[in-house]
Amino acid sequence: MKTFSNIIQRFRKLIYTPEKWARYIGVTIGHDNLIGKNHWSSEPYLISIGSHCNLSDCRIFTHGGARSIRSKYPNFDCFGKVVIGDYVYIGRGVLIMPGVTIGSNVLVGAGSVVTKSIPNGMMVAGNPARIICTIDEYYERNKKWDIGSKGMSASAKKKLLLELPEDKFIKK
């Protein structure tokens, strides 16, 4: 049977913004972040996120694997803090493993599995995540598609996008 405090906890999770929920459960977070639906570790107080970050639907782990060896070592438990710098974008479906530090000005591609720390100014992707290029190289490769729409209203952006010539859109 659920206790009253469990019911209150579930209610908070429903009404709080994802960032407010993360702060409530103990994640240390800077300012001006966009936090999507994230799956925090059972030790959220071991997670630190800088400022100006965008975390899409991702999972952050601070421990794992202990249950598989507890038949032999019943009290085994190990943990790793996760630190995310400033101006970081974490794509949807990313898994961040215990002990990882993600530097500032980093882009982590969707679906990546981050098993090692990432230095400042890098773009990483893959399973396991590996360095693809620097942020500056990423910008140089993609600046031809920049339309300068940041800060536009939704209606102004829609109008601009619907009027753009085909060569201004990314093609794969």
Active site residues: 63
H/E stretch holding 157 reads helix 154-163
Q: Per residue, what are the HEC states of 12-26?
A: HHHHCCHHHHHHHHC
Cβ distance 100 to 134 under 8 Å?
no
Residue corresponding to tokens 């103990």: 26
Please state whether beta strands 59-60 and 95-96 pair in parallel, antiparallel, or not at all (unpaired): parallel
Q: How far is residue 133's CA from residue 123's CA, in Å, rounded to a whole number?
A: 5
